Amino acid sequence: MRALRPDYLFSGGRVLSGASLVVQDGVVQGVGDAPADAEVVPMRGRALLPGMVAAHSHAFQRAIRGRTEHRSPSSEDRSAVSAKDDFWSWREAMYAAAERLTPQDLYAVSKFCFLEMARAGITAVGEFHYLHRDASGKPYADPNELDLAVARAAREAGLRIVLLRVAYARSGYGVPENPRQKRFIEGSVEEYLKNLDALSRQVAVGAAPHSVRACPADWIRDISQEAFRRGWPLHLHVAEQRGEVEQCQAEHGTTPALLLERLGSLRDTTTAVHGVHLSPRDIAALGRARATVCACPTTERNLGDGVVRADLLLVAGARLCIGSDSEVQLSPLEDVRQLEYHLRLLQEQRAVLDLERAGVGGLGARLYGVASEGGMRSLGLRGGTLRPGDPADFIAVDLDDPSIAGANADDLMANIVFGMERTAIRETWVGGEPLRLDFEGALPGFRAAMRRLWG
């Protein structure tokens, strides 16, 4: 048993001064005074905070960082640039990597990505994984070979992982088959559920019908029912793009969120990823279900998706978490602060999400909870608060880092959420032990994969 004694401890949504975090067997045993039989570990000049969560990640997309920040060639005239660049043109660049990754490449890129997450203070990840088949579209001898490669990468990096194995049935409603998606698509919902069941015996899983665009209604209904029966979290892309909403209207006569409600797929264990283009009725439905919306603000602004109306969702009763998604940048604090800042730009107001008028540090504490507890809840995991019984997953922050120097107990969380740089995170702990972030060991495999992909 160890009693870690920092200057400040963020536990149960409050900043405590001079309190010990008592840890044994990887679990928080107590908060406050150190037991007489505990080894006291002074951590002067440090604050301890719950680890953060990337509840929606596509780790392999780390391989395309920096390769899409330009206008794509026109589909009609390859010598000219596109008149408009958006999610749909970005997707073509993503396919270029997805088509060519070998299992070893996928493992190497994912491990490097997960190490970068850990350095940014992420201790758990929900990997929304849709690469299942080989480059020709045939199943591997083990249909979960690629899923297991990603899970192994996360474990070796030291992160907790929930493998959100994606169901992908088609290119879209009334859309011709896309040969670039042949690594994603499985033949039936029965095949998908069989493979997910087998995977669940080796790693924590969640069910993930990709979207109403990629899965017909009967797939979503059947997968949702099995997820609820098995106690698995259910994750889906919902209303990221206007085109997705238009396709759903054409096929089902309603919006994606209302279709999920009609199918019985909205519950408090459902996470709607993105939730950008939501109507007032959509927001009300998500609130009634106490569902979670996973915002990915860095990706949503990188792709020009739009802004998540976190304010309206919270008022309606929905919950929030954040995801790293396309891995264009790995900074959960950047994601959670942009959740607020995007709304400030829209409404020309400040402190939009300070709905409870919580005073100095209150909005920071609330937003940090979105990045920690909100993500753990979304993945069906306990934790994210550093209360007794939680896993001892946390970060140690240097209070003398220039980005937050001078913070006190009252304004610590506002300083951390709105001002802290990644340089202030000195250690990331999972299960009561500090992670050894072996970038040097991971670099050769990562570099080799990048050379194979891009030359």
Active site members: 274, 325
Between CA 137 and CA 220 the distance in angstroms is: 22
β-pairing, 319-322 vs 292-295, is parallel
- β-partners of residue 163 are 127, 205
Between CA 336 and CA 294 the distance in angstroms is: 11
DSSP symbols for 94-130: HHHHHTT--HHHHHHHHHHHHHHHHHTTEEEEEEEE-
Contacts (Cβ under 8 Å, ≥6 apart) of 228: 234, 267, 269
Angle at the Cα of 285 from the Cα atoms of 273 and 189, rounded to 5 degrees? 55
Q: How far, in Å, are 16, 91, 336, 450 from residue 371 at the CA level?
A: 19, 27, 7, 30
Q: Taking the CA of residue 452 as centre, how many other CA atoms within 13 Å lie in the half-sphere pointing to its CB?
A: 18
Between CA 82 and CA 78 the distance in angstroms is: 9
DSSP symbols for 371-406: HTHHHHHHTT---SS--TTSB--EEEEETTSTTTTT
Q: Helices (DSSP H) in 208-331: which residue ranges?
A: 217-230, 242-252, 256-262, 280-289, 297-302, 310-316
